[in-house]
Chain A
Amino acid sequence: MTDSAPVLDVRGLTVDYGGRPAVEDFALTIAPGEIVGLTGDSGSGKSTLAFALLGLTRGPGRIKGGSVVLEGTDLLALDEPSRRERRGRDIGLIVQNPRGALSPLHRVGQQIGAAYRSHQAVTGAQAAAHAVDMLRSLGLNDPERRASAYPHEISGGMAQRVLIAMALGSGPRLLVADEPTSGLDVTIQAQFLDEMWRTVRKVGSSALLMTQDLGIIANYCDRVVVLQNGRQVEDAPTRSFYAAPRDSYSRSILALRKEEALADATPSRLLEIEGLRKIFPLRGSNKHVQAVDDVSFSIGRGETVGLVGESGSGKTTVGRCILRLVEPDAGEITFGGASVTSASPAALRRLRRKLQVVFQDPFDSLDPRWTVTDILAEAIDGKSDKARIAELLRLVGLRPDVADAKPRALSAGSQQRVNIARAIAVEPELIVLDEPTSALTPLARIAIIRLLRDIQARLGVSYLFISHDLNTVEHMSHRVAVMYLGQIVELGTREQVFRSPVHPYSKALLGAHLVADPSRRRVDRTDIQTLSGEIPSPIDLPRGCYLASRCPVALPLCRDQPQPLVPAPDGRLVRCTPAIASLKQVMH
């Protein structure tokens, strides 16, 4: 980096919450043009720090000491009006939940313009033109129309870009982004971070990126700072950090990168799905959403099949159809030789005990009024069998004293362990894991992944692992199915799909995957296929291949003919004739 004066120089910053330090003696310098990643588990003080840097600390929080020097001026020594003037002009902030940060009553162009006008002496018309320019430079097509849209009319990814436009409007020297991509789909996340990275590099400003995702840091940051319980435990260049992290938090998170062998699956088939279809009617109109469109696959005993796709791809609906929590419209699901789709209520009740589920939100899945003992006793036929409950708690790695606790008193990770204990209590043969780690902190996520693998090795249970998080899917699955708009577009072994995806959508999805390894940065890779445009609405699907309008290899016939899911020469299934043809060429 350059050796000129730092943009930001923080020293001895201490923030207190009613006597308890939330951030202690924090020091950080950011050089011009540098992107620094700040990570740490939930509650480590990241957001407290972000607000303190901008002088936005709210009661009961109090800044106890230290200095935040931005380009030679100590922000903490200024009075509030002069601080406000610098906020937005010299420091920009991007927060999580883009839609929540926009006023629903004003057009987005107005909001960008208002942020700009509060720091620059310009007319309303100039500000409006500036807003349109900002949106254009962020790669939005038709920026004039977007600028006159209300926040509810634009997608989450676009709302996030509006926030960058607001934060970058006055050309701040420092951009603070607090979990800017949480809640976004992987392809949108990559698009957004690419743009932020490019913009920051182009205007030569600096950025402080706070995230729990070590993949984002490996891909976009020059330096890494780790916070643990408000203390700075690491400050190192990205490459040396990933090569040898010094603190225990980072070591445990990065430990999962190592490949670990999965328990062997037997070839005998446990679950078979054939031609599954589910359509949801839209309220108040005669339109409908095609949630699941001709999905077929099978799961073997002791096998894990990963189901990946972006939000709205129908992966959760597939899981709910298997459990008959929603009634499929067409198709046949067979479990251990018995039909699930045509089972009578009594047969279904018996069947369901072999078929369990773990949901995404661990707290929502536990009755808040019941104790852990009550919850587990419900699963084992209402009998409060103390020994069995203790055994289940031990199996999922919970201390015996949680038995009398109610869910509210447990951490999210422990709650999810209770959910897993309830699922394995009936000794099921298949567990549908519907985003089981998405609501957890990185540390809890790794512990749950290990636990699930451990349970599979011990009990030989099969999993359908539904997730949008490619990292966890890669560590759990024997085979992986990629879904796009209700269809499986590629189905193959973990190695086939993750190492050499064939379908253009799988390629784009995995290209957007941010690996926690600075030597495999996305910005350095040249072979990445990106998709243009937005996902078509599942209400008005195209006639031919659903991807044709965004696909870089689309042939004219793709637009008219639906593509069949057919076997490729290496055994995987692909829903793309041109891709299979080129794969054949490569193999010959």
Chain B
Amino acid sequence: MSEVLELADTGAVNVAKPAPSFLFRLGGVLVALSLVLMVMGPWITPYDPNRPTFEISEPPPALTEIPGLLWKVITGAPHDPIHWFGTDSSGLDVFSRVVAAPRTDVAIAVGANVVSLILGSLLGLLAGFARPWVAGTVMRISDLIQAFPVFITGMILVTLAGRSNMTIVLTLAFLYTPIYVRLTRAEVLSQRNRGFVDAARVLGKPEGFIALRHVLPNALAPSLIQASVTIGFAILMTAGLSFVGAGVRPPTPEWGLMIAASANELIQGEWWSSLFPGLAISLTVFGYAAFGNGVERIYDR
């Protein structure tokens, strides 16, 4: 007995976690930045994003001037107001508007995803646990929602329900819920036959307890990973809706609106008022995708 016990390891062993990749870190920084700007963006802008200045269609400072301007800002030397990203044809400061926009864009995207994630995973859990006809009904309704083109349905619903931030959140949540229903249900189906679920049944735990405490937490991983990608899509969608005039009302600082408003000036060479919001969208969507990818890798191990 003693010899066996000496050889058999009876304690904890260390499991090495892989080091996070560069893309994951970059994504994490961008996600964090977007969330910080969502909370504080409108408070830290150098100009009021909704009040025009007297400089109309002023281009951003040339690259060679930037070090000098920075020096002035740092030393507090007297200087003319600086429009880092220029001003648009109404004289609004582009930089301030790009910084203030996450309050709308990211908030709508995150809000819509939180609502659809909660709703979708609970419905998915129901579809995975309930009787076949309940599961069938939930899944067929999901199919139906997903059968329509997302953007056009979004446009119609927002227009019908009235253009406000809340309707956009609810519309996006409605359109994205089936994604989470499907992902959660697939995972629930594989988790509910795991050994620890049966072990909990044998301990006499009620099915509801098992579903919420054992199955759901273990079935959430794919949805959480999906959420980071869907938030990126939702930002694109919010911007897209306002670009076609079916989203946020002007003059709210919003990336899609900014691009739409300056699309005409683009031809006359005023590239800055649409380029910077465009870059902001791209970087944010990329950041969330890279972050989600990294999270998936860590879960995969």
Contact = CB atoms under 8 A, between A and B. Distances in A.
A546 interface: no
B200 interface: yes
Interface string B193-213: 011101111111110000000
Contacts of B7: 248-249, 252, 443
A443 B4 contact: yes
A296 B11 CA distance: 41
B203 A447 contact: no
17 contacts: A248-B6, A248-B7, A323-B202, A348-B204, A349-B204, A350-B204, A356-B203, A365-B195, A367-B214, A369-B218, A379-B203, A402-B10, A411-B13, A413-B9, A414-B12, A447-B5, A450-B1
B8 A413 contact: yes
Interface of B: 1, 3-15, 194-196, 198-206, 214, 217-218
Nearest to B205: A378
Interface in A364-403: 364-369, 378-379, 397-399, 401-402
A93 to B, nearest CB: 29
B202 A352 contact: yes
A121 interface: no
Given A359-B198, A409-B13, 11 more contacts: A249-B7, A323-B198, A350-B204, A352-B202, A357-B198, A357-B199, A364-B195, A365-B196, A369-B218, A378-B200, A444-B8
A494 interface: no
Instruction: Give the 10 A-B residue pairs with the shortest CB-CB distance, closest first.
Output: A365-B195, A349-B204, A364-B195, A405-B12, A447-B8, A359-B195, A399-B11, A367-B196, A352-B204, A252-B4
Interface string A273-284: 000000000000
A146 interface: no
Contact of B10 (A366, A399, A409): A399
Contacts of B4: 252, 255, 443, 446-447, 450
Nearest to A410: B12
Contact of B12 (A366, A409, A417, A450): A409
Interface string A327-361: 00000000000000000000011101101110111
Interface in A423-467: 426, 443-444, 446-447, 450
A435 to B, nearest CB: 11
A255 B2 CA distance: 12
Given A255-B3, A368-B218, A325 B12 contact: no
A328 B203 CA distance: 20
B19 to A, nearest CB: 15
B122 to A, nearest CB: 18
B183 to A, nearest CB: 18
B49 to A, nearest CB: 44
A323 B200 CA distance: 12
A408 B199 CA distance: 18
A398 B10 CA distance: 5
A368 B219 CA distance: 12
B212 to A, nearest CB: 13
B195 A361 contact: yes
A378 B195 CA distance: 15
A369 B221 CA distance: 12
Contacts of A357: 198-199, 202
A419 interface: yes
A405 B15 CA distance: 11
Most B CB contacts (10 A, CB to CB) among A248, A255, A349, A378 go to A378
A557 to B, nearest CB: 43
A410 B13 CA distance: 6
A323 to B, nearest CB: 5
B219 to A, nearest CB: 11
A251 interface: yes
B15 A248 contact: no
Contacts of B5: 397, 447
A130 interface: no
Contacts of B1: 450
Most A CB contacts (10 A, CB to CB) among B1, B14, B217 go to B1
B203 A353 contact: yes
A418 B198 CA distance: 15
Contacts of B196: 364-367
A359 B218 contact: no
A422 interface: yes
Contacts of B3: 248, 251-252, 255
B201 A325 contact: yes
A436 B219 CA distance: 26
Contacts of A447: 4-5, 8
A45 B265 CA distance: 69
Nearest to A413: B8
Contacts of B204: 348-350, 352-353
Contacts of A251: 3
B12 A402 contact: yes
B6 to A, nearest CB: 8
A181 B203 CA distance: 36
B16 to A, nearest CB: 11
A401 B203 contact: no
A408 B12 CA distance: 9
Contact of A369 (B14, B198, B202, B217): B217
Contacts of A450: 1, 4
Contacts of A368: 218
A466 B149 CA distance: 54
B205 to A, nearest CB: 7
Contacts of A359: 195, 198-199
A414 B205 contact: no
B15 A325 contact: no
A442 B16 CA distance: 25
Given A349-B204, A352-B204, A443-B4, A364 B9 contact: no
B7 to A, nearest CB: 6
Nearest to A228: B7
A409 B14 contact: yes
A447 B7 CA distance: 9
Given A443-B7, A444-B8, A325 B198 contact: yes
A447 B4 CA distance: 6
